[in-house]
A and B are shown apart, each in its own frame.
Chain A
Amino acid sequence: MELSKPSDAARRGAAVVSDITRRERDIAGGVVRVVLMGALVLALLVLVVLIVDVVTGGWSVLSSSLGDLLTGTLGSKPETSGLSQAIRGSFYIAVFVIIVAVPLGVAAAIYLEEYASNGRFARFIDINIRNLAGVPSVVYGILGLTIFVKMLGSITGPDSNGRSVISAGLTLSVLVLPIIIITSAEAIRAVPNGIREAGFGVGATRWEVVRSHVLPYAAPGILTGVVLSVARALGEAAPLILVGATTGFLTTGESYLPSSLQERFTALPIVISTWSGRPGVDWRSSTSAAIVVMLAIVLVANAGAILLRNHYEKKR
Chain B
Amino acid sequence: MTVVDSPAPVSLQLSGRRARSERIARVLFLVAGLTSVLVSVLILWSLTREAWTFVSQVEAAALWTDGWFPRRGMYDIRTIVLGSFLITGIALLVAIPIGLSAAIYLSEYASPRLRRILKPVLEILAGIPSVVLGFFALTFISPEIVQRFSDADQFNMLAAGIAVGILVIPLVASVSEDAMRSVPNALREASYGLGARKISTTVRIVIPAAVSGLVAALIIAVSRAIGETMVVFVAAGATGGSLFSTNVLGPGQTMTAAIASQAAGTDQVVGEGLTFQSLFFVAMLLFIITLFLNLIADRFVRRVRQTY
Chains A and B share a contact (CB less than 8 Å) = yes
Residues on A facing B (Cβ under 8 Å) = 26, 28-29, 32-33, 35-40, 42-44, 46-47, 49-50, 53-54, 57, 103-105, 107-108, 110-112, 114-116, 125, 127-132, 134-143, 145-147, 161, 163, 174, 177-178, 181, 205-208, 210, 228, 231-232, 234-238, 241-242, 244, 246-249, 269, 272-274, 276-277, 284, 287-288, 291, 294-295, 298-299, 302-303, 306-307, 310
Q: How far is the CB of B251 from chain A (nearest CB, A)?
A: 13
Q: How far is the CB of A121 from chain B (nearest CB, A)?
A: 9
Binds A, one of B61-69, B115-123, B178-186: B115-123
Which residue of A36, A103, A272, A274 is within 8 Å of B102 (Cβ)?
A: A36
A-B contact pairs, 13 of them (CB 8 A): A43-B173, A104-B35, A114-B29, A125-B36, A131-B294, A134-B223, A139-B47, A205-B18, A207-B25, A248-B265, A291-B132, A299-B128, A303-B124
Binds A, one of B1-9, B71-79, B103-111, B240-248: B103-111
| B28 interface residue (CB < 8 Å to A) | yes
Q: Which residues of A contact B49 (CB under 8 A)?
A: 146
Main secondary structure of the interface of B (DSSP, over half): helix
Contact between A130 and B298 (Cβ–Cβ < 8 Å)? yes
Residues on B facing A (Cβ under 8 Å) = 14, 18-19, 21-22, 25-26, 28-37, 39-40, 42-43, 45-47, 49-50, 97-99, 101-102, 104-106, 109, 116, 118, 120-125, 127-136, 138-140, 166, 169-170, 173, 197-199, 220, 223-224, 226-230, 233-234, 239, 256, 259-260, 263-265, 267-268, 279-280, 283, 286-287, 290-291, 293-295, 297-298
Q: How far is the CA of A53 from the CA of B97 in the complex (A)?
A: 25
Which residue of B102, B127, B140, B220 is within 8 Å of A39 (Cβ)?
A: B102
Contact between B199 and A29 (Cβ–Cβ < 8 Å)? yes
* Nearest 9 A/B pairs, CB to CB: A235-B129, A136-B227, A39-B101, A107-B32, A146-B46, A111-B29, A111-B33, A238-B229, A302-B127
Contact between B198 and A236 (Cβ–Cβ < 8 Å)? no
Q: How far is the CA of A302 from the CA of B125 in the complex (A)?
A: 10
Main secondary structure of the interface of A (DSSP, over half): helix
Q: How far is the CB of B5 from chain A (nearest CB, A)?
A: 27
Q: Which residues of B contact A295 (CB under 8 A)?
A: 128-129, 132
